[in-house]
Chain A
C-alpha cells in the first residue's frame, strides 16, 4: 500500500514538473537610429552648425539657418524599415529617424529623398499624430495645397559683397518639392554602430560644401539663391536636388 502511494506521488510530481512551462523572456526590442551630420568644409570633416558663419571659396560669408528634408519608403529590398522621416536640424538636432528594427536586415538601405507620390498627395491631416507627414509635424514643410510636401529645404544668409562688412544681408532659400524632383538613394554595406545591446546607429553625412561647391555643378549664391520648384526655376531646382542627392552619403 505504502509503495503504491509513494509511486503515485513520484509519478504525479514527475508529471507536474515535466509540464511546467519554462519562463520565457521575450526578446528585447531592437532600436535603429539614423543620424545625419551636416558638414561644411572642403573635405567635409567638420560639423556644420546653424547660424555659424563660414567662408565660401569665392570669399563670401555664409551661414545656414535651416536644413530639413524628408525621406520615405525606407527599406532593404522587400523588408520595410519606415514609411517616412523628417530631418529637421534646428528642431531635432542630428536625428533623422529612430524606429524598431533588426540591423542585420538593413545592411543596405534604399528609399526616396522626398515623399512617395501617393503619400505626397494624401490629406496631410489624416496621417497618424506621430507621423512626420502629419500636418502638425510637417508645418512649413507642406505647401498647403496639392503639390504636397517640400522634400528638401535649405535656407540661409550670405554676404556676396566681399567688402569686409559682414552683414549677411542676402538670403538664399532652396525649397524642392513636387513628384518630378523626388530622388532615390541606395546605400550599401552599412556600418550600424553598436550603442547598446538593444540599439544600433547609422551615421550619414550631409556634405554642404559639396552641395554648394559641387565640382561639376556648383551653386553661386550671388545669382542662384532662390528656388521654390516653380516654373522658370527648373535649372536651379534640378541642380539643387541633384547636388543634395550626391551630398548625402553614409559616413
Chain B
C-alpha cells in the first residue's frame, strides 16, 4: 500500500512535468486596404501572415530562383517602375526575349486572371510559371528548392511561415503571392478625386492633397470619362481603375500575330483580346500595351484618338472606332495626360516594405 502511494505521487509528478507539444503559429497579417476599395478575397488555403509576407519578399528578390542565379522577379517587375519592366520585352537568363510586355504588379490581390491572356486564374498558379519558363528564369522548381534548402535562413523562414519543416514550390508560390497581395496602391491624387466624387469623407491628409488638384487635372478627368471626350471610363473605372474583362482595343496585330485571350479559350470571338490593365501608376509603367508598342503616354493617347484599327472582335465600347478614334484636339490630349499623371502613387513605389530585403 505504501509503494502504491509512492508510485501514484511519482506518476503525478511525471504527468505534471510533461511538456505539451507546441505548435508554431504564424502572426496574422492585416492588409492596409484603402477605405474606398472593396475587400480583398484571400484564398482559404493561403492566409496572410507576417512571416509569409516576409518570406515572400525575400523570395521575390531571390536570384537563386533562376537557372544561373542572375534573375529574380524584380528583374522584370522593378519597384521604381511600379513593378513593371521599362523594356518593351523582358529578356530571360539565356538572352531570349519574350513577345509580351511584363505586366505591372499593382493591386493584384483583386485580380482573377493573370497574364495578358488570363491564362492563370490564381496568383499562386501564376507565380510558378516564370521560374520554369525557358525564356524567363529557366530553372526547375526542384533545383530552385534545392538551392533554397541549402540556406538555413530560408529553412527557418519557411518553418516560421508555414509552421512545419520543408521547402517546396507550393509554399514558395504561396509566400510570394502573400507578398504580392501587399502591393496595394491607393494613395494617389486620383484616389482623392474618386472619394470626393463619390461623397466619401476625406482624411486630413487627403484634404491637403485635394487642395493641390488643379483645374487642368479636373478638366482632364472630365475628358477621361466623357462620352464625347476620351471615353476611357468604360474599361478603366472604379477605385481599381480597370474593369475585369478582355478587350480588343483596336491595335493592329503585331508581327507575332498574338491572338491574346483566344490562345486560352480557342474561341475566335476572343481573337486579339487582352486583359484590361489598371491605369494606376500609368506614368511609371511605360512602355504600353501587351507588346509594349507605345513608348509613352502621348502615343497611347494618339492611338485612342486616331489610330483605332477596326476588326470583327473590336470592343463595342470603342464607340468611335469607325472614325479612327475619339478625335481629341491638342488641348484635350494635354488635359487628358494631366489627369493620367494624377494616378501616380509615390507612396507605393517608395514603400520600404516593398524593397529588396537582401
- With A140-B234, A140-B243, A169-B310 already in contact, the answer to whether A226 and B199 are too (CB < 8 A) is no
How many Å lie between the Cα of A21 and that of B344 in the bound state? 67
B266 to chain A, nearest CB (A): 14
Contacts of B321 in A (CB 8 A): 171
Residue of A nearest to B193 (CB): A145
Task: Judge whether B318 is part of the interface by a CB distance below 8 angstroms.
Answer: yes
Q: Is the interface of B mostly helix, strand, loop or mixed?
A: loop
**Cβ contact of B237, chosen from A125, A134, A143, A169, cutoff 8 A:** A143
Residue of B nearest to A51 (CB): B269
Q: Please determine whether A129 and B239 come into contact, CB atoms closer than 8 angstroms.
A: no
- With A134-B38, A139-B244, A146-B199 already in contact, the answer to whether A124 and B238 are too (CB < 8 A) is yes
Q: Please determine whether B198 and A123 come into contact, CB atoms closer than 8 angstroms.
A: yes
- With A125-B36, A173-B316, A173-B319 already in contact, the answer to whether A140 and B237 are too (CB < 8 A) is yes
Number of interface residues of B (CB under 8 A): 35
Contacts of B24 in A (CB 8 A): none
Q: Please determine whether A125 and B319 come into contact, CB atoms closer than 8 angstroms.
A: no
- With A135-B38, A144-B238 already in contact, the answer to whether A123 and B245 are too (CB < 8 A) is no
Residue of B nearest to A156 (CB): B316
How many Å lie between the Cα of A230 and that of B222 in the bound state? 13
Residue of B nearest to A121 (CB): B199
Pair count A-B, CB < 8 A: 79
Task: Judge whether B233 is part of the interface by a CB distance below 8 angstroms.
Answer: yes
Task: Judge whether A202 is part of the interface by a CB distance below 8 angstroms.
Answer: no
B143 to chain A, nearest CB (A): 38
How many Å lie between the Cα of A155 and that of B318 in the bound state? 11
Q: Please determine whether B227 and A230 come into contact, CB atoms closer than 8 angstroms.
A: yes
Residue of B nearest to A138 (CB): B238
B249 to chain A, nearest CB (A): 13
Task: Judge whether A65 is part of the interface by a CB distance below 8 angstroms.
Answer: yes
Contacts of A168 in B (CB 8 A): 312
A70 to chain B, nearest CB (A): 16
Residue of B nearest to A173 (CB): B316
Task: Judge whether A87 is part of the interface by a CB distance below 8 angstroms.
Answer: no
A50 to chain B, nearest CB (A): 9
Residues of B within 8 A of A (CB): 35-39, 41, 110, 194, 197-200, 225, 227-228, 233-235, 237-240, 243-245, 269, 310, 312, 314, 316-319, 321-322
The 9 closest A-B pairs by CB, nearest first: A171-B316, A140-B243, A145-B197, A144-B237, A136-B38, A155-B316, A125-B38, A139-B243, A144-B238
Q: Assuming A169-B310, A171-B317, A171-B319, what are 18 further A-B pairs, CB within 8 angstroms? A: A123-B36, A125-B36, A135-B38, A139-B245, A140-B235, A140-B237, A140-B243, A143-B237, A144-B237, A145-B194, A145-B197, A146-B197, A146-B198, A146-B199, A156-B316, A169-B312, A171-B316, A226-B319
